A and B are shown apart, each in its own frame.
Chain A
């Protein structure tokens, strides 16, 4: 694998079987995402965006082809190994936040750290730092029902980054939010990318996302139909040129 790429999908096909039907969600896709890039995967419903994300996150298996993340090929990993790998390398953000309702913001963010060997005090430090990064240090004792949608998504982002993963994958992170909250979440993800050099892969329908990302990968019917620089990248190039 080429080391400059954080994520490398080579000739990946994913076929789902639903009763007697075979659904080809991805058809021979080859896709490379460089390290520390913020990328969006866009396309109409059923184009295979979430399938790509699931393969990168190691929660789904390719029917054929190779998926490599960092310097590890995860295609052939067993579920037990994949679980450990996900805990170390992947932070997941979902459209509907998927926070545990009986846990406070603090406890939700702490959850992935329970898989580590960190002591309680160390876990507390990590959680407080993550919540500070997303601007919710003052809400750590709140339960999800006591937070707005945007705040819940921020907690979900804190939970995704608290273990300091290599890659953050976000599935429609603004899909359930109003315009203002969506902008804030996109800005936050951009900040994580710029400040902490996280590789962020985001699936979205939101056209506003193009302004924030480095690259847009367009899918249609399971096929990669285009790779375009995002407006953020174009803006950065212009700024570089001016400099």
Chain B
């Protein structure tokens, strides 16, 4: 503690250089943490929202192809299946084309059993079942458009050639994807003229150990039909949506690390310059009796503080920007909000500390061990 003042004063001996170094580290770590957050958030959303008991059953040809409504009864009698809920993607927009968010029609009677972890109150479920135009909204969509319970809204059909008027009867929370909106499928069916098709069946299995058996049983059951199915766990289903983004995510991670390495080298150069300028002072301190290790520790502490300051600044800025984006543009492939996870915050701070320490270590060690007489001769 007695060296704290000395370290701070040394750190600000060249205020402009220190501020520029802190800012350059901040900018790089802002970029790093923002870039790395996206894949981390995507993975986190999958982990958070997926239930081990839910299975998605869709057309083997792809999720954009439909399955016959008649499958529901056959799925329901499959061993270990507790509930089946059909789901259709409406893809409506609120006001402008940019006002898009995932809105899905689901079977009202089975919804509560299927998604008990979506944080919907019993009363809201009740209203959902009793009102044909009822809908439930996720918290991100609600705050994005300022929706409130009791509000009537209209979704313009982008896939279907009609609009739907919906009444908000409740808000989803819990593990529900925060930007989802669900409404009743019977309402959509009626408006669409009873097409007899659904996009996906959600199946609730009695126990997690029976999931694999149910998946195999369903796909086998429909394998020779006109619409063969592909069933998968909820995590795998959502993961499939992210698959196309995986390469981009990997690129983001690589770019993030390149930025960090680059700024590490820049910081090392700055630290080397700063320490080089102080060789005389370091020699004087050593001639007073300061051991090499104390000098090394003081120089590293100074560099560590610069790194941490940059880290906190960059990481904090990224956190706030992502939080702002969470309100304004809250989706990753329609699954959830972009927020910086605590693990990325911690990782960025650790990287900031490592940049600080490693950038200064070599010049600091060299200066701390340099022959005192030689160093003093340079000063003289």
Contacts and interface: CB of A to CB of B under 8 A. Distances in A.
Contacts of B284: 92, 94, 98, 100
Nearest to B281: A100
Contacts of B280: 98
A111 B280 CA distance: 15
Nearest to B8: A102
Contacts, number: 68
15 contacts: A60-B372, A83-B290, A83-B292, A84-B289, A87-B289, A90-B289, A92-B284, A95-B380, A98-B280, A98-B284, A98-B379, A100-B281, A102-B10, A107-B9, A111-B285
Contacts of B376: 59, 94
A86 B291 CA distance: 10
Contact of A107 (B5, B281, B287, B291): B5
Given A98-B280, A100-B281, A86 B288 contact: yes
A57 B372 CA distance: 11
B2 interface: yes
Contacts of B292: 79-80, 83
Given A54-B373, A60-B373, A120 B13 contact: no
- Interface range on chain B: under 10, 10 to 19, 20 to 34, or 35 or more? 20 to 34
Interface string B363-376: 00000000011001
Nearest to A120: B2
Interface of A: 54, 57, 59-60, 79-80, 83-88, 90, 92, 94-96, 98, 100-103, 107, 111-112, 114-115, 120, 159
Nearest to A89: B289
Contact of B289 (A54, A88, A101, A103): A88
A102 B13 contact: yes
A85 B285 CA distance: 14
A100 B279 CA distance: 12
Secondary structure call for the A interface: helix
List the 6 shortest-distance A-B pairs measured between CB atoms, nearest first: A87-B289, A86-B289, A59-B372, A98-B284, A102-B13, A102-B9
A101 B2 CA distance: 19
Interface string B1-44: 01101100110110000000000000000000000000000000
Interface in B332-380: 372-373, 376, 379-380
B323 interface: no
B287 A92 contact: yes
B286 A83 contact: yes
Given A59-B376, A86-B288, A92-B287, 4 more contacts: A59-B286, A83-B291, A83-B292, A86-B287
Nearest to B288: A112
Nearest to B1: A120
A150 to B, nearest CB: 19
B9 A92 contact: no
Contacts of A87: 288-290
A59 B373 contact: yes
Contacts of A85: 289
B285 to A, nearest CB: 7
A103 B6 contact: yes
Contact of A112 (B289, B372, B379): B289
Interface in B253-311: 280-281, 284-292, 294
